[in-house]
């Protein structure tokens, strides 16, 4: 997994990088190939925003969340990306099964 971090309007923090890497590392089990991840941390007015873009297995997934706490934003965007991965997996499995008997 390759992760690229960008910080906008704030200082770089190793703690945030490590936390994001731990949370995004859980997504590796859902894909076969390596993940290429771009994470952008930014401050917008009173919100701390995290943007995540993932390229894996021919899929492009992205999510954006803003909360007053950066760690909460990381948690929410990770959950959003995980739902997108599950949906893509279900669509792929349904396609492989063929048309339903209805």
**pLDDT score for 94:** 74
Residues, the chain, total? 102
How many domains would you assign to the chain? 1
Residue 34 belongs to a domain: yes
* pTM for this predicted structure: 0.85
Residue 68 belongs to a domain: yes
Contact indicator for 35, 56 with CB cutoff of 8 Å: yes
Give, in order, the Cα–Cα distances in Å from 63 to each of 7, 34, 38, 93, 102.
Answer: 16, 19, 11, 23, 35
Residue 102 belongs to a domain: no
**Range of 53's domain?**
2-97
Higher model confidence: residue 89 or residue 42? 42
- Measured in degrees and rounded to the nearest 5, phi and psi for residue 56 equal -160, 135
The CATH number given to whatever domain includes residue 75 is: 3.30.160.100
> For 8-35, what is each residue's pLDDT tens digit?
999 999 999 999 999 998 888 888 888 8
């Amino acid at each position: 997994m390759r992760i690229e971090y960008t910080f906008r309007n704030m200082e770089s923090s190793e703690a945030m990088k490590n936390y994001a890497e731990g949370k995004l590392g859980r997504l590796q089990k859902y894909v076969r190939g390596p993940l290429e991840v771009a994470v952008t941390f930014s401050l917008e007015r009173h919100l701390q925003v995290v943007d995540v873009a993932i390229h894996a297995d021919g899929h492009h997934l992205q999510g954006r969340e803003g909360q007053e706490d950066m760690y909460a934003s990381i948690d929410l965007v990770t959950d959003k990306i995980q739902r997108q991965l599950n949906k893509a997996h279900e669509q792929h499995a349904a396609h492989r099964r063929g048309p339903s008997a209805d």
